[in-house]
Amino acid sequence: MLTFSLEGKTALVTGANRGLGKAIAGALAELGATVYGTSRTETGVKQIESDLGTEGFVLDLEDVHTIAPFVERVGTDPRGISLDILVNNAGINHPAPALDVTVEQWDSMVDTNLRGTFFLTQAVAKHWVSAGARGAVVNIGSQAGTVGIEERAVYCTTKGGLDQLTKVLAIEWAEHSIRVNTVAPTFVRTEMTAETLSRPGWGDTLRGRIPLGRFGEPEDIIGAVAFLAGDAAGLITGHTLLVDGGYTAW
C-alpha cells in the first residue's frame, strides 16, 4: 500500500502565515512532517510559530538578493534543518484592467510570483544536488495559468510561466531525483480573494464558470499538495494538477 505519511520529512512552506499557505503547512504537519514557514513580516512569522511550533522566517521573494543567503542559512542551520519538501505558496495579485496596469504592479507580481519563486527553488535544489539528496517541489499555481481571466493579465502571465517552469525544472532535475509539480486551484476563499469574490455580480459570474458550482476552500487544495509532496507521487513530475471544480473543462 502506498503511504501518504510524511513522517520523518521536513518541509518549507512560503507564505505560511495565512490563507492557503497556513492550511497547507498545517496539513503537512498533521501528516507527520516537520514544517517551517516564511512570511514577509515579523507579525506573520509570529503567527507561523504559534501555529506550527517551529521557527518561522522572514522572507520577501520580491527582494531576490536575500533569497540565496536565506537558503544558505537554513541549509547550514546547526539544529539540522534539512529540507525534503519545498512548497512555493507565496504569491500576490493586483487585479486591474490591462489598460491600467502600472510598471510597479507588473514588477511586483513578476518578481514575487515568478522570479523570486524560481531563485528560491534554484537555491534549495542546489543544496539537494550538493548533498545527493532527493527533493520534492510543489508550486502553487492557478487555473489562471491555463485560461484567461479578466483583469488578471499579469497574474495569468506569472502563473502560465510557473506551469512552464515546472516542466523545465522537472526535466532538468530528474537525474537528481528532484520532482517538481504544480497544484493549480480555482478561486479559493482566502483573504487574498475576499474582495474579488464579494464584488456585486462578479462573484456570481465566476461561480457560474465552475461546473461543481462553488468556490474552493483551503481544505479542498491541501490533499493535492500533500499527495504531490510525498512518496505516493514518486513517479509524478512536471505535472500541473488542476483543482478547479471543472473551470478549465469548458
Active site residues: 155
Instruction: Average the pLDDT over 147-174 and give the result.
Output: 98
Q: What is the pLDDT of residues 70-119, one digit of tens each?
A: 999 887 665 657 899 999 999 999 999 999 999 999 999 999 999 999 99
The answer to whether residue 197 is domain-embedded is yes
What is the full DSSP assignment across 14-54?
TTTTSHHHHHHHHHHHHTT-EEEEEESSHHHHHHHHHHHSS
Per DSSP, the three-state class of 242 is strand
pLDDT of residue 80: 58
Contact 242, 197 (CB under 8 A): no
The answer to whether residue 73 is domain-embedded is yes
The answer to whether residue 80 is domain-embedded is yes
The answer to whether residue 202 is domain-embedded is yes
Q: Residue 1 pLDDT more than 60? A: no
Q: Which residues contact 74 (CB under 8 A, 6 or more apart)?
A: 12, 36, 57, 81, 83
| Angle in degrees, CA 61, 49, 180, rounded to 5 | 45
The answer to whether residue 147 is domain-embedded is yes
Q: CA 216, CA 231: separation in Å to the nearest integer?
A: 26
pTM: 0.96
Q: Which residues contact 203 (CB under 8 A, 6 or more apart)?
A: 196, 197
Say if residue 166 is exposed, middle or buried (CB neighbours under 10 Å; 0-12, 13-18, 19+): buried
Percent of the chain with pLDDT over 90: 89
Q: Which of 211, 212, 227, 215 is nearest to 185 (CA)?
A: 215
Q: How many domains does the chain have?
A: 1
pLDDT of residue 222: 98
Residue that is written with C-alpha cell 461543481 in the block? 212
Q: What is the pLDDT of residues 10-53, one digit of tens each?
A: 999 999 999 999 999 999 999 999 999 999 999 999 999 999 99
Cell of 165: 517552469
Q: What is the pLDDT of residues 224-244, one digit of tens each?
A: 999 999 999 999 999 999 999
Q: Are strands 178-185 and 135-140 parallel, antiparallel or unpaired?
A: parallel
Q: What CATH number has the domain bearing residue 63?
A: 3.40.50.720
The answer to whether residue 2 is domain-embedded is no
Q: Are strands 135-140 and 34-39 parallel, antiparallel or unpaired?
A: unpaired
pLDDT of residue 28: 98
Q: Residue 209 pLDDT more than 90? A: yes
Instruction: Average the pLDDT over 135-145 and give the result.
Output: 98
Instruction: Average the pLDDT over 40-69 and give the result.
Output: 97
Mean pLDDT of the chain: 95
Q: Which of 41, 144, 33, 157 is nearest to 101 (CA)?
A: 157
The answer to whether residue 249 is domain-embedded is no
Instruction: Average the pLDDT over 181-210 and give the result.
Output: 92
Residue that is written with C-alpha cell 539528496 in the block? 133
Q: Are strands 10-13 and 85-88 parallel, antiparallel or unpaired?
A: parallel
pLDDT of residue 191: 86
Domain of residue 226 covers 10-244
The answer to whether residue 250 is domain-embedded is no
Instruction: Average the pLDDT over 204-225 and give the result.
Output: 96
